[in-house]
Protein backbone atom coordinates (compact mmCIF):
# COMPACT_ATOMS: atom_id res chain seq x y z
CA UNK A 1 0.00 0.00 0.00
CA UNK A 2 1.61 3.28 -1.14
CA UNK A 3 1.19 6.08 1.38
CA UNK A 4 0.44 9.46 -0.24
CA UNK A 5 -1.52 12.52 0.82
CA UNK A 6 -4.41 11.49 -1.39
CA UNK A 7 -4.43 7.93 -0.05
CA UNK A 8 -4.46 9.18 3.55
CA UNK A 9 -7.34 11.65 3.04
CA UNK A 10 -10.11 9.02 2.76
CA UNK A 11 -8.54 7.21 5.73
CA UNK A 12 -8.86 10.38 7.79
CA UNK A 13 -12.51 10.88 6.86
CA UNK A 14 -13.43 7.27 7.58
CA UNK A 15 -11.44 7.47 10.80
CA UNK A 16 -13.73 10.24 12.01
CA UNK A 17 -16.76 8.10 11.10
CA UNK A 18 -15.35 5.13 12.99
CA UNK A 19 -14.69 7.36 15.99
CA UNK A 20 -18.25 8.64 16.08
CA UNK A 21 -19.49 5.05 16.13
CA UNK A 22 -16.92 4.08 18.76
CA UNK A 23 -17.90 6.76 21.24
CA UNK A 24 -21.61 6.17 20.73
CA UNK A 25 -21.72 2.36 20.72
CA UNK A 26 -18.70 1.30 22.76
CA UNK A 27 -16.94 -0.37 19.83
CA UNK A 28 -13.30 0.08 18.92
CA UNK A 29 -13.79 1.08 15.30
CA UNK A 30 -12.41 -2.19 13.94
CA UNK A 31 -15.67 -2.93 12.16
CA UNK A 32 -14.92 0.08 9.94
CA UNK A 33 -11.13 -0.21 9.88
CA UNK A 34 -10.86 -3.89 8.92
CA UNK A 35 -13.13 -3.86 5.82
CA UNK A 36 -11.57 -0.56 4.70
CA UNK A 37 -8.02 -1.88 4.93
CA UNK A 38 -8.97 -5.09 3.14
CA UNK A 39 -10.55 -3.00 0.39
CA UNK A 40 -7.32 -1.03 0.07
CA UNK A 41 -5.45 -4.24 -0.67
CA UNK A 42 -3.93 -5.31 2.65
CA UNK A 43 -3.89 -9.04 3.30
CA UNK A 44 -6.04 -10.23 6.24
CA UNK A 45 -3.33 -10.57 8.89
CA UNK A 46 -1.92 -7.13 8.06
CA UNK A 47 -5.35 -5.49 7.90
CA UNK A 48 -6.49 -6.94 11.22
CA UNK A 49 -3.24 -5.99 12.96
CA UNK A 50 -3.35 -2.43 11.60
CA UNK A 51 -6.97 -2.20 12.72
CA UNK A 52 -5.95 -3.13 16.27
CA UNK A 53 -3.26 -0.44 16.29
CA UNK A 54 -5.78 2.19 15.18
CA UNK A 55 -8.20 1.13 17.91
CA UNK A 56 -5.84 2.39 20.66
CA UNK A 57 -6.15 6.15 20.03
CA UNK A 58 -9.77 5.71 18.94
CA UNK A 59 -10.95 4.27 22.24
CA UNK A 60 -8.63 6.51 24.22
CA UNK A 61 -10.74 9.47 23.08
CA UNK A 62 -14.01 7.89 24.22
CA UNK A 63 -12.57 6.54 27.48
CA UNK A 64 -11.13 9.92 28.40
CA UNK A 65 -14.56 11.49 27.95
CA UNK A 66 -16.15 8.89 30.24
CA UNK A 67 -13.41 9.25 32.87
CA UNK A 68 -13.63 13.04 33.00
CA UNK A 69 -17.43 12.84 33.34
CA UNK A 70 -16.97 10.33 36.21
CA UNK A 71 -19.34 7.85 34.60
CA UNK A 72 -17.04 4.80 34.91
CA UNK A 73 -17.35 2.82 38.19
CA UNK A 74 -13.78 2.08 39.31
CA UNK A 75 -14.29 -1.50 40.51
CA UNK A 76 -16.18 -2.58 37.40
CA UNK A 77 -13.67 -0.81 35.16
CA UNK A 78 -10.69 -2.57 36.74
CA UNK A 79 -12.37 -5.98 36.49
CA UNK A 80 -13.22 -5.78 32.79
CA UNK A 81 -9.85 -4.21 31.94
CA UNK A 82 -7.99 -7.07 33.64
CA UNK A 83 -9.83 -9.71 31.61
CA UNK A 84 -9.39 -7.80 28.36
CA UNK A 85 -5.67 -7.22 28.78
CA UNK A 86 -4.91 -10.84 29.75
CA UNK A 87 -6.74 -12.39 26.79
CA UNK A 88 -5.37 -9.87 24.32
CA UNK A 89 -1.79 -10.70 25.31
CA UNK A 90 -2.40 -14.40 24.64
CA UNK A 91 -4.41 -14.21 21.43
CA UNK A 92 -2.27 -11.55 19.76
CA UNK A 93 0.48 -14.19 19.73
CA UNK A 94 -1.79 -16.88 18.29
CA UNK A 95 -3.29 -14.82 15.47
CA UNK A 96 -0.21 -15.06 13.24
CA UNK A 97 -0.64 -18.85 13.00
CA UNK A 98 -4.27 -18.72 11.88
CA UNK A 99 -5.27 -18.73 8.20
CA UNK A 100 -6.76 -15.46 6.95
CA UNK A 101 -9.92 -17.14 5.68
CA UNK A 102 -10.50 -18.69 9.10
CA UNK A 103 -10.04 -15.32 10.81
CA UNK A 104 -12.65 -13.73 8.56
CA UNK A 105 -14.94 -16.73 8.96
CA UNK A 106 -14.74 -16.41 12.75
CA UNK A 107 -15.67 -12.76 12.40
CA UNK A 108 -18.74 -13.65 10.36
CA UNK A 109 -19.80 -16.33 12.85
CA UNK A 110 -19.41 -13.98 15.81
CA UNK A 111 -21.40 -11.21 14.16
CA UNK A 112 -24.13 -13.63 13.08
CA UNK A 113 -24.66 -14.94 16.60
CA UNK A 114 -24.84 -11.41 17.98
CA UNK A 115 -27.41 -10.39 15.38
CA UNK A 116 -29.68 -13.17 16.61
CA UNK A 117 -29.04 -12.53 20.31
CA UNK A 118 -29.69 -8.79 20.40
CA UNK A 119 -33.36 -7.91 20.67
CA UNK A 120 -34.21 -4.21 20.93
CA UNK A 121 -37.68 -5.09 22.19
CA UNK A 122 -36.20 -6.60 25.37
CA UNK A 123 -34.32 -3.50 26.46
CA UNK A 124 -35.55 -2.59 29.94
CA UNK A 125 -35.16 1.02 30.92
CA UNK A 126 -35.32 0.14 34.58
CA UNK A 127 -31.92 -1.55 34.18
CA UNK A 128 -30.45 1.77 35.29
CA UNK A 129 -31.34 0.75 38.85
CA UNK A 130 -29.87 -2.77 38.55
CA UNK A 131 -27.14 -4.02 40.85
CA UNK A 132 -23.50 -3.79 39.71
CA UNK A 133 -22.28 -6.91 37.93
CA UNK A 134 -19.88 -9.19 39.86
CA UNK A 135 -16.21 -8.39 39.08
CA UNK A 136 -15.57 -12.01 38.03
CA UNK A 137 -18.36 -11.83 35.45
CA UNK A 138 -17.03 -8.55 34.06
CA UNK A 139 -13.53 -10.04 33.82
CA UNK A 140 -14.98 -12.92 31.80
CA UNK A 141 -16.61 -10.42 29.44
CA UNK A 142 -13.25 -8.67 29.16
CA UNK A 143 -11.67 -11.96 28.09
CA UNK A 144 -13.98 -11.95 25.07
CA UNK A 145 -12.79 -8.46 24.13
CA UNK A 146 -9.16 -9.48 24.43
CA UNK A 147 -9.69 -12.51 22.23
CA UNK A 148 -11.51 -10.45 19.59
CA UNK A 149 -8.75 -7.84 19.50
CA UNK A 150 -5.74 -10.15 19.64
CA UNK A 151 -7.04 -12.74 17.20
CA UNK A 152 -9.48 -10.92 14.93
CA UNK A 153 -8.36 -7.29 15.01
CA UNK A 154 -11.69 -6.17 16.47
CA UNK A 155 -12.27 -4.24 19.63
CA UNK A 156 -14.90 -6.66 20.88
CA UNK A 157 -17.43 -3.98 21.76
CA UNK A 158 -20.10 -5.59 19.62
CA UNK A 159 -19.66 -8.70 21.75
CA UNK A 160 -19.32 -7.15 25.18
CA UNK A 161 -22.28 -4.79 25.09
CA UNK A 162 -24.84 -7.55 24.34
CA UNK A 163 -23.22 -9.82 26.96
CA UNK A 164 -23.41 -7.16 29.65
CA UNK A 165 -26.95 -6.07 28.85
CA UNK A 166 -28.45 -9.52 28.18
CA UNK A 167 -26.62 -11.79 30.64
CA UNK A 168 -25.46 -9.37 33.34
CA UNK A 169 -28.53 -7.10 33.12
CA UNK A 170 -26.45 -3.93 33.05
CA UNK A 171 -27.73 -0.61 31.68
CA UNK A 172 -26.94 -0.13 28.00
CA UNK A 173 -25.02 3.10 28.50
CA UNK A 174 -22.90 1.67 31.33
CA UNK A 175 -22.15 -1.38 29.16
CA UNK A 176 -21.02 0.92 26.35
CA UNK A 177 -18.71 2.86 28.67
CA UNK A 178 -17.14 -0.28 30.15
CA UNK A 179 -16.81 -1.75 26.67
CA UNK A 180 -14.89 1.30 25.44
CA UNK A 181 -12.40 0.95 28.31
CA UNK A 182 -11.96 -2.80 27.79
CA UNK A 183 -11.35 -2.31 24.07
CA UNK A 184 -8.71 0.32 24.83
CA UNK A 185 -6.85 -1.98 27.22
CA UNK A 186 -6.97 -5.03 24.94
CA UNK A 187 -5.78 -3.05 21.90
CA UNK A 188 -2.99 -1.36 23.88
CA UNK A 189 -1.72 -4.76 25.05
CA UNK A 190 -1.81 -6.26 21.54
CA UNK A 191 -0.25 -3.22 19.81
CA UNK A 192 3.40 -3.87 20.77
CA UNK A 193 3.13 -7.42 19.47
CA UNK A 194 1.77 -6.27 16.12
CA UNK A 195 4.45 -3.59 15.81
CA UNK A 196 7.34 -5.88 16.75
CA UNK A 197 6.44 -8.60 14.23
CA UNK A 198 5.63 -5.96 11.56
CA UNK A 199 2.12 -7.23 10.97
CA UNK A 200 0.57 -3.78 11.38
CA UNK A 201 1.19 -0.60 9.39
CA UNK A 202 1.57 1.95 12.16
CA UNK A 203 1.51 5.09 9.93
CA UNK A 204 -1.88 4.06 8.54
CA UNK A 205 -3.09 3.12 12.02
CA UNK A 206 -1.95 6.48 13.37
CA UNK A 207 -3.93 8.46 10.79
CA UNK A 208 -7.04 6.36 11.32
CA UNK A 209 -6.73 6.35 15.09
CA UNK A 210 -6.06 10.04 15.66
CA UNK A 211 -8.93 11.13 13.42
CA UNK A 212 -11.20 8.55 15.05
CA UNK A 213 -10.20 9.73 18.53
CA UNK A 214 -11.62 13.17 17.81
CA UNK A 215 -14.94 11.70 16.68
CA UNK A 216 -15.08 9.27 19.60
CA UNK A 217 -14.52 11.99 22.17
CA UNK A 218 -17.32 14.10 20.68
CA UNK A 219 -19.91 11.30 20.48
CA UNK A 220 -19.05 9.75 23.86
CA UNK A 221 -19.80 13.05 25.56
CA UNK A 222 -23.30 12.94 24.04
CA UNK A 223 -24.12 9.31 24.85
CA UNK A 224 -26.83 10.23 27.36
CA UNK A 225 -28.77 12.03 24.63
CA UNK A 226 -29.46 8.81 22.69
CA UNK A 227 -32.24 6.42 23.70
CA UNK A 228 -31.41 2.86 24.76
CA UNK A 229 -33.69 1.30 22.14
CA UNK A 230 -31.94 3.32 19.44
CA UNK A 231 -28.51 2.19 20.64
CA UNK A 232 -29.51 -1.48 20.53
CA UNK A 233 -31.06 -1.13 17.07
CA UNK A 234 -27.85 0.46 15.79
CA UNK A 235 -25.75 -2.34 17.25
CA UNK A 236 -27.94 -5.01 15.72
CA UNK A 237 -27.92 -3.37 12.28
CA UNK A 238 -24.12 -3.22 12.37
CA UNK A 239 -23.71 -6.88 13.30
CA UNK A 240 -26.04 -7.96 10.48
CA UNK A 241 -24.14 -5.90 7.92
CA UNK A 242 -20.79 -7.22 9.10
CA UNK A 243 -21.99 -10.83 9.14
CA UNK A 244 -22.62 -10.60 5.40
CA UNK A 245 -19.42 -8.68 4.65
CA UNK A 246 -17.04 -10.88 6.67
CA UNK A 247 -18.65 -14.07 5.36
CA UNK A 248 -18.33 -12.88 1.76
CA UNK A 249 -14.66 -12.02 2.21
CA UNK A 250 -13.86 -15.31 3.95
CA UNK A 251 -15.50 -17.31 1.16
CA UNK A 252 -13.72 -15.32 -1.54
CA UNK A 253 -10.36 -15.83 0.16
CA UNK A 254 -10.98 -19.54 0.64
CA UNK A 255 -12.03 -20.09 -2.97
CA UNK A 256 -9.38 -17.78 -4.41
**Above 70 in pLDDT, residue 73?**
yes
39 vs 184: CA distance, rounded Å: 25
pLDDT (0 to 100) of residue 192: 81
pLDDT (0 to 100) of residue 79: 94
The residue-averaged pLDDT of 233-256 equals 78
Instruction: Read off the pLDDT band of 50 (50, 70, 90).
Output: confident
Q: 81-123, pLDDT tens digit by residue?
A: 999 888 877 777 665 555 667 766 776 777 777 677 666 555 5
Q: Which of 12-21, 83-92, 145-154, 193-202 has the lowest mean pLDDT?
A: 145-154
Closest by CA position to 172, among listed 233, 215, 102: 233
Query: What is the count of structural domains for the chain?
Result: 1
Q: 183-214, pLDDT tens digit by residue?
A: 888 888 878 877 777 767 777 888 888 888 88
pLDDT (0 to 100) of residue 98: 58
193: left (phi over 0), alpha (psi -120 to 50) or beta: alpha
Instruction: Read off the pLDDT band of 256 (50, 70, 90).
Output: low
Q: Are 231 and 176 in contact (CB under 8 A)?
A: yes
**Above 60 in pLDDT, residue 1?**
no
Q: Are 82 and 142 in contact (CB under 8 A)?
A: yes
pLDDT (0 to 100) of residue 120: 53
pLDDT (0 to 100) of residue 187: 81
**Above 60 in pLDDT, residue 124?**
no
Q: Are 179 and 76 in contact (CB under 8 A)?
A: no
Range of the domain at 48: 5-255
pLDDT (0 to 100) of residue 8: 67
Q: Are 191 and 63 in contact (CB under 8 A)?
A: no
The H or E element that residue 184 is part of is helix 172-196
**Above 50 in pLDDT, residue 129?**
no
User: pLDDT above 70 covers what percent of the chain?
Assistant: 80
Amino acid sequence: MELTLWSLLPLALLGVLAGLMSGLLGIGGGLVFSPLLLLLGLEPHQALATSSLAIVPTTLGGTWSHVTSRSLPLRSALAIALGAGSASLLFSQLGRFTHGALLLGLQALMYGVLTLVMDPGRVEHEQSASAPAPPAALSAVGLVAGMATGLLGLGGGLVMVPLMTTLLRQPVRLAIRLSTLAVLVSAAVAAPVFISDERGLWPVALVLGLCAAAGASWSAARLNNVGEDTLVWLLRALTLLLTVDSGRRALALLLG
